[in-house]
Amino acid sequence: MPGSTRTHASDVAFTRSVKSVQARKGSRNAYARMEENGSWQTRITPELASFIEAQSSVFLATTNLDGQPYIQHRGGPAGFLRVLDDRLIGFVDFTGNRQYITLGNLADNPKACLFLMDYAHRRRVKIWGEARVVEGDADLTEKLMLQGYRARAEQVILFTISAWDANCSQHIPQRFDAADVAAALAERDERIRAMEAEIERLRHLPSAPSGALGGSAA
């Protein structure tokens, strides 16, 4: 990583203090082996790209100059998060409550983290990197804006990744999107209607004559 003193990609999160705690808690050896085997990935793989663009919700973490963290939620239809290349994610920042905490934090400190949670499949992905705000770029906004989505675009946020990590499913509650539940219930109801119609059809078939299916009695 140009201009960085990090030895491993995971050093973006595993600082000296973090490694000290890992050693004290007994997990440092396992993470050291992970580092020796390649550490975290620094490029967006096709699998990660599919995961990102399937999400309808994301959390963006930033900090101000005092080190005070802030987490902002952003949502939209699946596809509002767009993978632009193997290191760049972009999305339209829609008009919200106009506090602009994230924008102010990024003006002072571009380091940020994206946290993506897929409750239905119990998967989560953490992405470290740097974010920047792009205002007044109509072409970029149009490129990233979802057609037919009724929201007002205010600016664009571009996120360049440094490293990413996918966690295990432990302790993630399984929850489902309301639209997915509605679609599953509609499919179930349609199958029930089809089975009821088939039962009704069979009920009105003429009965077979007595002895038509068997031979004469001995």
What is the set of domains in the chain, with CATH numbers?
Answer: 39-167 (2.30.110.10)
**Residue 141: pLDDT above 60?**
yes
pLDDT, position 45: 96
Among 89-103, 127-141, 163-177, which is the least confidently predicted range? 163-177
Q: How far, in Å, CA of 130 to CA of 135, rounded?
A: 17
Distance CA 198, CA 196 (A): 5
How far is residue 131's CA from residue 80's CA, in Å, rounded to a whole number? 16
Q: Which helix (H) or strand (E) holds 93?
A: strand 88-94
pLDDT for 180 equals 80
User: Quick check: 4 pLDDT over 70?
Assistant: no
Residues 14, 22: contact at Cβ < 8 Å?
A: yes
pLDDT at residue 211, rounded to an integer: 60
Determine contact, residues 7/36, Cβ cutoff 8 Å.
Answer: no
Q: Is the pLDDT of residue 150 over 90?
A: no
> How many Cα atoms within 13 Å fall on the side-chain side of residue 158?
14
Q: What is the mean pLDDT of the chain?
A: 89
Quick check: 179 pLDDT over 50? Answer: yes
CA distance 110 to 9: 18
* Mean pLDDT, range 192-205, rounded to an integer: 89
Give me the pLDDT at residue 3, please: 44
What is the rounded CA–CA span in Å between residue 141 and residue 61?
A: 22
Q: If phi over 0 gives left and psi between -120 and 50 gives alpha, with beta otherwise, what is residue 29?
A: alpha
pLDDT at 1 over 50: no
Interval 49-82: pLDDT, tens: 999 999 999 999 999 999 999 999 999 999 999 9
pTM > 0.95: no
Distance separating alpha carbons of residues 205 and 209, to the nearest angstrom: 12
